[in-house]
Amino acid sequence: MYAQRGKLEAIFNFFDTNGDGSISREEFHKGCEALNASMASDENKLTDIDKMLDLMDFDGSDSIDINEFLEVFRILDAKDGKVDGVISLAKPGFKQ
């Protein structure tokens, strides 16, 4: 079901710094801040970090477990009508 499961698990583990199987709000903030620090352009930086976590936290536990994390990417993958492991996050009108 998840064409890129291995890569997604590696990303999940990047955020889950204490290895307890869930990404806490603090871990998510620290991970997003690390990603933002590595981006040259402010245009691509992650914003509204709390809102992103709230949208991914399907069970309301204030953290993201691996199933919630994978489900978010399955939903994004299916956005184009196909579940093929290809996720486009480009803004409308943007040529890739």
pTM for the structure as a whole: 0.76
What CA–CA distance (Å, rounded) separates 59 from 47?
Answer: 22
How far apart (Å, rounded) are the C-alpha atoms in residues 37 and 96?
A: 23
DSSP structure string for 9-68:
HHHHHHH-TT-SSEEEHHHHHHHHHHHHHT-S-GGG----HHHHHHHH-TT-SSEEEHHH
Q: Is pLDDT at 22 greater than 50 in this prediction?
A: yes
Q: Residue 57 — pLDDT band, cuts 50, 70, 90?
A: very high
Asked whether residue 17 carries a pLDDT value surpassing 60, the answer given is yes
